[in-house]
A and B are shown apart, each in its own frame.
Chain A
Amino acid sequence: MDIHALQQIVHQTRDARRKQTLPKLSPADRDQLIHKYHPDFRASAFRPIRFGPNVGDKTAIELATLLEGDSSIVDGFDLTPHYTTDVLVVGGGGAGCAAALHAHGAGAKVMLATKLRLGDSNSVMAQGGMQISVAPEDSPVTHFVDTLKGGHMQNDHQLLKVMVEEGPSIAKWLLSLGVLFDRDGDGNLHVKKGGGSSKPRLLTCSDYTGLEIMRVLKDEVLNQKIQLLEFCAAVELTSDEKGNCTGAIFKDLDNQRHVVVAAKSVILATGGIGRLHIQGFPTSNHYGATGDGLCLSYRLGAKLMHVDTFQYHPSGAVYPEQLIGALVTEGIRSEGGHLVNAKGERFVNELDTRDVVSASIIRECEEGRGIRTMSGRIGVWLDTPLLDAASGPCNRSCCLRL
């Protein structure tokens, strides 16, 4: 059967599937599934790092290779600074802009450098929403517990406590800058239920949460006249004799010249590593998400945490062709969209944690219940017409495999 014939099965099984409730997996079943199918457990995709602070630690081959790379800065490089600042923020996404604005607000002289444009980041693409415990039935403690569970109890407790406790104040800060979060009739923030959480906690701005937040943060950075270095990629951090970071060296992508910045403090807000395409996976990550900050800090002697785990977003498009790698928001699953295999069956509770959903999708594909697209990629269906029967057939197969 070709893909269009297989699509008919999705339509035929829709009504029956609607009546089904699939349980979330027990911790034991979850572990078994993840060990067999989650990409973090593919031994062949990992190797030990050969030197540096994490020597011997296993990580994805792509990351290990990058961490072990040579510096592009040659001996005798002139380190005379072109700019001197109090705080240097490397990265122009949500974290970078927020850090720059807070440091600026506290009276520091701030410079923000990014290898692309201000605001180019994964933050701008976040659709599903932002988890903050604002609902009366929710609490920062519950948020903490839910996150620990999602993180297989590996999270840094102190950091996590700060994040869940400061979330509400950050929401207030964003509101004061003019971010338009969705509201309930009584004016309170509207919260949706996201994957892996026990209470509704997702703050949203229509389907454009990240875009709305980033439009505002970017505009605010410009309004505050924070000094910018755009299209300048950080290639090395500088340090004093004691190993303290004293600034960074950038390469201006427009003229290939180096720019040296001296700073009292350097904040790395460089984002993730999706664009390394670990294990050959497509990514929904921004073009710039190449793990620069990990390398920069590793070369200065920082020990990296959790180098053996990576998050895989369960749903990304593999069909149609021009949408390959495009993220399909978690929101579609939280609204009740079904994941369906070639036989028309659901195979996982769509609101289970991301690792469980990802591993289940891979299991279906590997065990021959996936759908092959025109370009030979294998995926499973995400039944979206279920959500809006009126909009006609627009099934997308979504998957993590090539």
Chain B
Amino acid sequence: MAQEDSNVIDQPEVIRHKMVTVEIAGKKYDVPEGITIIKALWYSGQEVVRGAGCLGGFCGACAAYYRTKDDPKVRTCLACQMAVQDGMSITMMPPFPARKATYDIQALKDPKQDLFNLYPEAPLCRNCNACTEACPQKIDVREGVWKAVFGDFKSVSEMFMDCVMCGMCTPVCIADIAPNLVALYVSRAQGAHFTEKPVGLDTRIKEIQDGRFNDEWTKLLKMNEKELADHCATVK
């Protein structure tokens, strides 16, 4: 919004953006310093269909590889969360054809054993740690795969709570494991099979079914606008 903000007390005027040069898929572009990689793609006029999602670091659509100036190490990031720097080389990660097992989560008889039928490659981890290094969310992925294999589903579900399913752990795996998919199965099994059932929730559902609130509802829904507003005002 181009409104004047001249009344902001004792603060300096706008500072102009410094430009930096980045390389996107092998081509150089000048973009403002400090913007995100996704914004740099837009700024340089790239069409972004598959590489953009929530733009908030949650959906994992914008997995990208980058390398900073003079550093041989290629790193991973979510392009909506990483600011560009001068001399950065960037490319987006293409979709990777990892195999997802399908299962009926509620019908599983022995989820910890079923893991080996659904993902038989899971125990073949060779400890190279590439998955952990590839994770833009800094999850100890390798450790998670081992914990899954040894049946510590609870720890896996906690470790992978911030997994955005970007899948960057998958192409690097020399044992063809898709750690994010393994962890998702494990977390779901943990929730559906190894977590206490909340008694209070069942009580509430039964109360609703048994019509415990019916009198209150009748009273409330019969009120006219004014009565309803007055009633609402009494609830603090």
Contact = CB atoms under 8 A, between A and B. Distances in A.
Interface of A: 1-3, 6, 27, 116-117, 119-122, 124-125, 133-136, 139-142, 144-146, 148-149, 153, 157, 161, 165, 168-169, 171-172, 175-180, 183, 186-189, 198, 205-206, 208, 210-212, 215-216, 218-220, 222-223, 225, 231, 253-254, 279-281, 284, 286-288, 320-322, 325-327, 342, 365, 367-372, 374-376, 378, 401-402
Interface string B162-193: 11110000000000000000001001111110
B110 to A, nearest CB: 16
B220 interface: yes
B74 interface: no
Contact of B200 (A146, A188, A216): A188
Interface in B79-102: 81-83, 100, 102
B196 A183 contact: yes
B161 A286 contact: no
Contacts of B221: 157, 161
A370 B235 contact: no
23 contacts: A1-B11, A116-B61, A117-B61, A119-B59, A141-B220, A153-B228, A171-B201, A175-B197, A183-B195, A215-B165, A215-B184, A216-B191, A223-B104, A225-B102, A231-B50, A280-B1, A281-B1, A287-B55, A326-B56, A342-B9, A372-B11, A374-B15, A376-B13
A266 B12 CA distance: 54
Nearest to B196: A187
A168 B35 CA distance: 42
Q: Which 6 A-B pairs have the closest CB atoms?
A: A178-B188, A187-B196, A178-B191, A376-B14, A280-B1, A368-B7
B34 interface: yes
- Classify the secondary structure of B's interface with A: loop
Contacts of B1: 279-281, 401-402
Nearest to A369: B9
Contacts of A124: 53-54, 58-59
B157 interface: yes
Given A153-B225, A168-B205, A175-B198, A372 B102 contact: no
Contacts of B82: 322
Contacts of A145: 220, 231-232, 235
A161 B204 CA distance: 15
B204 A370 contact: no
Nearest to B95: A117
Contacts of B202: 172
Contacts of B102: 222-223, 225
Given A142-B235, A177-B192, 12 more contacts: A121-B59, A133-B204, A140-B208, A140-B213, A168-B205, A169-B208, A179-B191, A198-B236, A222-B102, A326-B57, A374-B15, A378-B8
Contacts of B14: 372, 374-376
Nearest to A378: B5
A103 B163 CA distance: 29
Contact of A321 (B11, B35, B208): B35
Contacts of B59: 117, 119-121, 124-125, 286
B201 A189 contact: yes
A13 to B, nearest CB: 16
B31 to A, nearest CB: 12
B101 to A, nearest CB: 9
A183 B50 CA distance: 36
Contacts of B12: 2, 372
Contact of B105 (A223, A225, A321): A223
A2 B217 CA distance: 55
A141 B203 CA distance: 16
Given A125-B54, A188-B198, A287-B52, A198 B235 contact: yes
Contacts of A286: 53-56, 59
B216 interface: yes
Interface in B12-26: 12-15, 17
Contact of A187 (B106, B157, B197): B197
B232 A153 contact: yes
B196 A120 contact: no
Q: Which of B14, B52, B189, B208 has the most CB of A within 10 A?
A: B208
B162 A180 contact: no
A172 B205 contact: yes
Interface in B38-82: 49-50, 52-59, 61, 81-82
Contacts of A153: 225, 228-229, 232
A89 to B, nearest CB: 19
A330 to B, nearest CB: 14
B223 to A, nearest CB: 10
A146 B162 CA distance: 31
